[in-house]
């Protein structure tokens, strides 16, 4: 598979977001122009562990050679045409071991990193570019420590990858959340109800804070600060009475908690990174609001419109920012390849594109700065000054 300059492999891991295909396209078009061969790994790290190292084997389900025609066709669409998974090669359950490796790896949990390294050598990969959130990129850190030339591109709707002000997918998420809130407010207003909107956000509340700041809601509940449900009911009741159409809106992050409670999960099943599927806090908040509301509404119950946005905000085509930033990130990655640099994460910081050591992904956390950006008395964003703030304002200072 050798070419004049070498081989670049690219993969997408974790949840899909709009903007992945533009990033794949940017990497491929630039790399081909510079004389590299580009391989797209299917299903993230899942495709990497499934490869059979035999030229006679058909590995078409695990990787494909990328061309201008292929990436141009998909480059303006949402999702990822390379597909994705939440596979963590360093912790593969016995039941998930590929068939051709079952005799070798027999423990309950297995580290298949040796297979990944051999598969990269088999594919003659010189540089590997994973696009993903902190889970996908954390394994990229592991491979970098094993000697693989890694360049990471940050992606997540929660915007919670450390070291960067922006992650691919966040803008489209915020845009869709605002649009959905504006659509649903007519329902809430017609029936004079509370509107509770549950959005993504396991540990970080950026996807709830930004739409609220933009006017999509009057209150928001985020993972970083447990709320008193009685206080939220009082605040929303006041909002509702001050609204001529008699409704009030709160956006609730999926990882949010009521004081004294825990995160709410759909079931006990966890992915390879140990994450159980979140969901249901919107239901709990809605039921509690309805039960408590007579206390703040002259003894009359206030009904609730409860909507979980979920995949609605991550499906479909990318918005303008999630079309432009992935193009820049992809080209930044190839810039690093051309300079012979690796072990880096391409980032947007203070309005400018840059790169930082990829180890930042595992050495820190990116959460909402409560003291600076969240009013704990009013359950809404705090924004006293915008001077010298980055585009999306509420980013962690590192």
Distance CA 161, CA 204 (A): 10
Long-range contacts of 115-120 (CB under 8 A, 24+ apart): 115/49, 115/89, 116/45, 116/48, 116/49, 116/89, 116/143, 117/143, 117/146, 117/147, 117/148, 118/53, 119/48, 119/49, 119/51, 119/53, 120/9, 120/48, 120/148
Query: Pairing mode, if any, of strands 7-12 and 37-41?
Result: parallel
Rounded distance between C-alpha atoms, residue 174 and residue 101, angstroms? 42
What three-state secondary structure class fits 7?
strand
Q: Measuring CA to CA, which residue among 66, 114, 110 is closest to residue 87?
A: 110
Whole-angstrom distance, CA of residue 11 vs CA of residue 63 = 9
C-beta atoms surrounding 228 within 10 Å: 12
Which of 16, 158, 160, 322 is the catalytic position? 158
Per the annotation, the verdict on 230 as an active-site residue is no
Distances (CA, A) of 294 to 227, 298, 304, 351, 353: 19, 6, 13, 47, 52
Residue ranges of alpha helices (H) inside the chain are 20-33, 45-50, 68-74, 113-122, 134-145, 170-191, 206-213, 229-242, 281-292, 321-339, 360-363, 370-373
Catalytic residues: 158
């Amino acid at each position: 598979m050798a070419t004049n300059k070498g081989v670049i492999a690219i993969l997408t891991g974790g949840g899909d977001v709009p903007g992945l295909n533009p990033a794949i396209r940017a990497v491929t078009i630039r790399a081909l122009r510079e004389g590299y061969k580009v391989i797209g790994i299917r299903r993230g790290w899942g495709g990497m562990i499934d490869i059979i190292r035999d030229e006679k084997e058909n590995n078409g389900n695990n990787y494909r050679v990328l061309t201008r025609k292929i990436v141009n066709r998909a480059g303006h669409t949402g999702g990822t045409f390379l597909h994705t998974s939440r596979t963590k090669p360093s912790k593969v359950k016995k039941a998930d071991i590929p068939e051709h490796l079952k005799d070798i790896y027999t423990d309950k949990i297995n580290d298949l990193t040796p297979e990944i390294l051999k598969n990269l050598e088999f594919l003659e990969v010189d540089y590997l570019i994973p696009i993903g959130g902190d889970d996908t990129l954390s394994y990229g850190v592991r491979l970098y420590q094993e000697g693989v030339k890694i360049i990471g591109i940050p992606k997540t709707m929660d915007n919670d990858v450390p070291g960067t002000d922006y992650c691919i997918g966040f803008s489209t998420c915020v845009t869709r959340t605002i649009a959905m809130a504006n659509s649903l407010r007519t329902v809430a207003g017609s029936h004079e109800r509370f509107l509770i909107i549950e959005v993504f956000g396991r540990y970080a509340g950026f996807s709830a804070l930004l739409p609220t700041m933009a006017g999509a809601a009057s209150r928001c509940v985020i993972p970083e600060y447990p709320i008193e449900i009685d206080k939220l009911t009082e605040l929303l009741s006041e909002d509702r009475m001050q609204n001529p159409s008699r409704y009030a809106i709160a956006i609730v992050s999926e990882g949010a908690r009521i004081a004294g409670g825990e995160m709410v999960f759909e079931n006990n099943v966890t992915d390879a990174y140990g994450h159980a599927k979140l969901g249901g806090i919107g239901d709990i908040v809605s039921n509690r609001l309805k039960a408590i509301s007579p206390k703040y509404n002259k003894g009359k119950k206030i009904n609730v419109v409860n909507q979980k946005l979920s995949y609605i905000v991550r499906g479909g085509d990318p918005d303008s920012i999630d079309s432009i930033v992935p193009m820049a990130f992809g080209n930044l990655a190839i810039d690093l390849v051309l300079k012979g640099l690796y072990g880096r994460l391409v980032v947007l910081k203070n309005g400018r594109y840059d790169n930082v050591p990829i180890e930042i992904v595992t050495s820190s956390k990116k959460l909402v700065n409560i003291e600076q950006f969240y009013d704990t008395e009013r359950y809404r964003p705090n924004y006293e000054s915008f001077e010298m703030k980055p585009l999306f304002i509420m980013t962690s200072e590192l």
